[in-house]
Amino acid sequence: FFELVKKTLAAHGLDGELAPHEDEPVAGYLRRLPETGPLARVARAIERQALLVNVRSAFSTEPDIHHGVGAEVYARASAPMREVVGVFLHKELVEMIERDTTERSEADLALRDQVVVAANLARDRQRRVNDQVNRVVLDRLFTTDLAAGTPPRKGTVMGITSSKVHVELDEPGLDVKVYLRDLGHARGGAWLDLVDGGVALKVRDKDDIVCRLGDEVKVVLRGKDAGHDRWRLDLSRT
């Protein structure tokens, strides 16, 4: 993760700023990143990459690190759509206090396993619901923008892969995917290459940078690709 951070900072000419300290834990580094000011966009992109680089946290029967929170051992007593976890943990705490023991029955262990399965299924279901809701909102937003000739919306580059660029819009705060084939088409059919594993995107055989991780960009709406049921988008650096 920190290797990606260093390359990102170097791409922005920020080698001396936001640099991680030696042996600094990820959670500690993320806590001191600025939330406002000229470096806020780069900081938000770094935070997003921390979530992607580290393994997604999941409910388990064994104590383990929570990458997003930065805790070595983490237990959740409350979680939207997954309150069964909190209910079970509260039950266990009450029983431990009343019985003054940490021993659990076979029935409790079986119930715990069921709770973990249900909570992880709910987490995955919530993610799918969020994705579908975001898609509906973006369809309505872009349909209105296209009809009204709304100026390009600003956003922050949060991730760059071999097929798309992830951008978080400033307003509304939603994620959009800008596909490399659309970016290449908008540049006369140019081939685009990743730089340093996703720190930046450039035009092949040229020094033209399309975008960098943490860049402020304008998302240009080119139209709807009805055949693939997606929006054709372009990017311009501000």
> Domain for residue 67, yes or no?
no
The reported pLDDT for the residue numbered 97 is 86
As for how many domains the chain has, the answer is: 3
> Domain for residue 42, yes or no?
yes
Q: Whole domain around residue 32: which residue ranges?
A: 2-53
Same domain, 197 and 220: yes
> Domain for residue 66, yes or no?
no
The reported pLDDT for the residue numbered 238 is 81
The reported pLDDT for the residue numbered 123 is 86
Same domain, 99 and 129: yes
Contacts of 12 (CB under 8 A, 6+ apart): 42, 212, 214
Amino acid at position 101, single letter: T
The reported pLDDT for the residue numbered 73 is 60
> Which residues of the chain fall below pLDDT 50?
none
Instruction: Name the β-bridge partners of 233.
Output: 221
Dist CA 56 CA 41 (whole Å): 23
Question: Do 183 and 160 meet the contact criterion of CB atoms below 8 Å apart?
Answer: no
